[in-house]
Amino acid sequence: MNRSFPRLEVALDEATVDHDFFFRDDDAGWADDDLLELCNRFVARAPIDLAVIPEAVTPCLASHLIDHRAQLGFHQHGFAHHNHESAGKKCEFGAHRAEEDVVSDLGRGRARLVELFGYRLDPIFTPPWNRCSHATIGALQSIGIEVLSRDRGSLPKSPDGIIELPVAVDWIRWRDSIDEAIAGSIAIGEPTGVMLHHEVMDQSDLEKIDDLLELLVNHPRAKVRSMMQLVRGRHGG
């Protein structure tokens, strides 16, 4: 029995069909050493997708990730990860921003990541704090974004042409009951996306990541995919 994820192991044992998992680590561009340590846990074991902050990531980090790390996916995480709301929940691309500013930041961020990652950049957008305005979603296609990744059940809904690939489990929020949270997500029947934040994860978290990967990569009912593998598998292309 897996020492950190016994309930998940039971859920997988009882599953009658294969279940897909993906990992999305947010805030690439901050805390580079912590990011690389997390990525090392995945190398040669399973894919992980990095949501990259365009204004924060350096050419040095981008080059290192491309040249020396396997099974990494890269996509856009906002622009500068700055809160632009004067009240309420934090949001970089919220309803109170002028639409032209939203479109400008989206395009500038996309252009910078294309410059740094080239063909390795995936057409995915993860908004900081997992929330964004209707105008933001409407502008994504104009800069070549096909996929929006937020929390499961987020509003507003995406229009036709934008694929939703939500995360189901926030590792930091559920760290004290992470086994139960991931095990419970299997019953929904959709891919289980696990959201990580390397800059606030400690050694205990990393050890649990090791345990989780050991279970998932060896269990016949668990399939760890990249985000684009899931998109292509479910929507073609």
Q: What is the pLDDT of residues 32-59, one digit of tens each?
A: 999 999 999 998 899 999 999 999 999 9
Question: What pLDDT is attached to residue 236?
Answer: 67
pLDDT tens, residue by residue, 199-219: 999 999 999 999 999 999 999
Question: What pLDDT is attached to residue 155?
Answer: 87
Distance between CA atoms of residues 48 and 25, nearest Å:
7
Cβ contacts of residue 229 below 8 Å, gap of 6+?
47
| Under-70 pLDDT residues of the chain | 69-70, 236-237
Average pLDDT of every residue of the chain: 95
Q: Are the beta carbons of 39 and 48 closer than 8 angstroms?
A: yes
Question: What pLDDT is attached to residue 82?
Answer: 96
State the Rg of the chain over Cα: 17
Question: What pLDDT is attached to residue 159?
Answer: 84
